[in-house]
Amino acid sequence: MSPFVSRIAVAAILLPLVLGVVWLGGWWLFGLVVAGGLLALHELYAMARSLRPIVLAGYTGLVLALLGAQLGGTTWLLAGMLGTLMVALLVFFVSSARQNAVAGFAVTLLGVVWVGGGLAFFTLVRDIPGDGRLLVFTILLTVFADDTAAFFVGRAIGRHRLAPAISPGKSWEGFVGGTCAAVAVAFFALYEQEVVTTGESLLLGLVIALAATLGDLFESAVKRDLGVKDSGSLLAGHGGVLDRVDSLLWAGPAAYVALLVLV
């Protein structure tokens, strides 16, 4: 099976599953983001093995951050993230292994804030009274449209590199195509839903598209710095779980902040 076909197959299986869990919401969604978050965090720590991340603290902090978001919103989300430092200090003090404290603590906390924090905002958006389900659907489908359109447009007419030092395969043409698709999906998803105005739906689509692109480029920069091509191989043509959710980890928080301003 070619990488392109495997990408389509994985997307066809995962997207309905994720949308179904989002429809259910509550602890079903919490279970999904915990499972996906732990897999993505495992891949990050495996890539950064040479920096000696404090893995137990990272896993604990991610679960605490997501649990805090589920039970108490942004305040307890922050408290869960801070719990990472306390667990990391405890593990660091009792460990007999010698390691670089700065690098170890930095990559450990990066994983919790980046992966755990990014996914937590989907539970926060889902909990918006009345419109949470629709808004999470909109974010997911907008990011999917952005990624898909950017891929096809970039392959067809991409000539000008977007970020050659970080991700040579991405082009400005693909970026524009993906952004247009994202704005269109956000507009049609929220059209006459009485959640936001037409202009606000276009702005939300633009915010999601920009954040998704930055999230993709950020992971590319991390992988390039760590000397790896993919975060893993669990999802065949998609690479690892972190490769699949990298755009979402920035799009979710950006959309949440935008909605706080718009709604």
CA gap 33, 118 in Å, rounded: 10
Q: Which tokens hold the place of 57?
A: 């603290």
Residue among 131, 127, 121 at smallest CA distance from 26: 127
Tens-binned pLDDT, residue by residue, of the chain (263 aa): 555 565 666 667 777 888 899 999 999 999 999 999 999 999 999 999 888 899 999 999 999 999 999 998 899 999 999 999 899 888 888 876 666 788 889 999 999 999 999 999 999 999 998 899 999 999 999 999 999 899 889 889 988 898 888 888 889 999 999 999 999 999 999 988 888 889 999 999 999 999 999 999 999 999 988 888 877 666 655 678 898 899 999 999 999 999 998 87
Q: What does the pLDDT read at residue 234?
A: 65
Q: Report d(CA 3, CA 1) in Å as an integer.
A: 7
Q: What is the C-alpha to C-alpha distance for residues 14 and 189, in angstroms, rounded to an integer?
A: 20
Q: Is 262 exposed, middle or buried (0-12, 13-18, 19+ CB in 10 A)?
A: middle
pLDDT of 165 reads 84
Element (H, E) at 28: helix 26-47
Cβ atoms within 10 Å of 89's Cβ, excluding its own: 14
Provide the residue range defining the domain that includes 126: 3-262
Tell me the helices (H) and strands (E) count for the chain, helix number first. 10, 2
Is the full-model pTM beyond 0.85?
A: yes
What is the spatial distance between Cα 206 and Cα 184, in angstroms, rounded to a whole number? 9
Give the bridge partners for 161, in sequence order: 171
The DSSP secondary-structure symbol of 130 reads T
Q: How many residues does the chain have?
A: 263
CB 64 within 8 A of CB 84: yes
User: For the chain, what is the domain count?
Assistant: 1
| pLDDT recorded at residue 250 | 97
